């Protein structure tokens, strides 16, 4: 397939090679091979509890890597701290809501840029993002705790973008959102990608996730069961029957 060929030929920005990971002495995922080509979208789907968030955490440094290797832009980053991941250009938007509810939208945005250690730069970057996220611009003085679920998700995305990441790790960005907000979040993900951000997406809405993905992976019981282009997985009968409710 032409799409597959292009995806394989694009330089990998993130590469997991035989990664076994978990927490303390609990192994959750086994021997995971996964590639996110530069400037593409890869999507990881699979049942609840299969280890999707653990893969994300292993990449970013919130989980322990017991075996295998994580490479980012050609560097071995296995077992690196979350701080180091952030500084190197990865942003991780957590599955659970992570806004500071007592702070305003704008204060949340500035928190996203704290690694700059430069208030002016953070303010400048926030202004750039308000041009793109006009809803957030309107809400900038609003306490984040007062936002709707969809607005909160937009704030989490925008806050992640404060550091101008090369790679965004998005863990279930559409969960719990009404359909209109879900569409907005997916539109945002696609436009971010068009502007050059590489994205690894975990999605419970497998059909939607795979439909925006250049590469797809199905994880079940801690192991990658299927991989291919997003389209290949969507069209695969077995994947459809087992994981897409088709
Ligand atoms: N911090 C943790 N310590 C120990 N086990 C955990 C921790 N977080 C998740 N797990 C376990 O790892 C397994 C996979 O969880 P997770 O990666 O969150 O799956 P998914 O994101 O696919 O729903 C679950 O059995 C869960 O209980
Ligand atoms: Mg999860």
Nearest CA to ligand 1 atom 8: 54
Contact 31, 18 (CB under 8 A): yes
Q: How far from chain centre, in Å, is Cα 64?
A: 19
Cβ–ligand 1 distance for 193 under 6 Å, the answer no
Position 201 scores a pLDDT of 97
DSSP 29-54: EEEEEEEEETT-EEEEE--TTSSHHH
159 has pLDDT over 60 = yes
Q: What is the mean pLDDT of residues 153-166?
A: 93
Distance (Å, whole) CA 45 – CA 51: 10
Distance (Å, whole) CA 22 – CA 6: 32
123 has pLDDT over 70 = yes
Ligand 1 nearest-atom number relative to CA 219? 22
Q: Coil, strand, or helix at residue 187?
A: helix
H-helix or E-strand containing 170? Answer: strand 167-171
Nearest CA to ligand 1 atom 1: 23
Q: How far from chain centre, in Å, is Cα 175?
A: 13
Distance (Å, whole) CA 195 – CA 201: 16
The rounded mean pLDDT for the chain is: 92
Residue 18 CB neighbour total at 10 angstroms: 11
Cβ–ligand 1 distance for 197 under 6 Å, the answer no
Q: Which domains does the chain have, with CATH numbers?
A: 2-98+161-243 (3.40.50.300)
Position 7 scores a pLDDT of 47
Rounded percentage of the chain residues whose pLDDT exceeds 90: 77
Distance (Å, whole) CA 53 – CA 58: 9
CA pseudo-torsion sign 188, 167, 13, 20: negative
Of 89, 85, 78, the C-alpha closest to 198 is 89
Task: Match 């069961």 to its residue by tokens.
Answer: 225
Distance (Å, whole) CA 194 – CA 164: 14
Position 9 scores a pLDDT of 64
């Amino acid at each position: 397939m032409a799409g597959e060929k292009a995806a394989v030929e694009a330089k990998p920005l993130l590469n997991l090679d035989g990664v076994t990971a978990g927490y303390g002495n609990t192994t959750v995922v086994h021997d995971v091979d996964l590639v996110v080509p530069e400037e593409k979208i890869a999507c990881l789907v699979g049942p609840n509890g299969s280890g999707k968030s653990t893969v994300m955490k292993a990449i970013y440094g919130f989980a322990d890597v017991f075996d295998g290797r994580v490479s980012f832009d050609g560097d071995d980053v296995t077992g690196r701290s979350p701080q180091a991941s952030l500084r190197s250009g990865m942003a991780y938007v957590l599955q659970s809501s992570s806004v500071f509810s007592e702070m305003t939208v704008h204060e949340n945005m500035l928190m996203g840029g704290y690694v700059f250690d430069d208030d002016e730069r953070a303010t400048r970057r926030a202004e750039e993002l308000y041009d793109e996220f006009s809803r957030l611009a309107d809400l900038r003085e609003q306490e984040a705790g007062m936002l709707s679920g969809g607005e909160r998700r937009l704030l989490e995305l925008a806050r992640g973008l404060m550091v101008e990441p090369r790679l965004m790790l998005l863990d279930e960005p559409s969960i719990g959102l009404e359909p209109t907000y879900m569409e907005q979040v997916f539109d945002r993900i696609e436009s971010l990608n068009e502007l050059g951000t590489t994205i690894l997406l975990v999605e419970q809405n497998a059909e939607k996730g795979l439909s925006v993905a250049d590469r797809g992976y199905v994880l079940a019981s801690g192991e990658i069961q299927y991989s291919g282009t997003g389209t290949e997985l969507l069209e695969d009968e077995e994947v459809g029957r087992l994981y897409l409710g088709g």
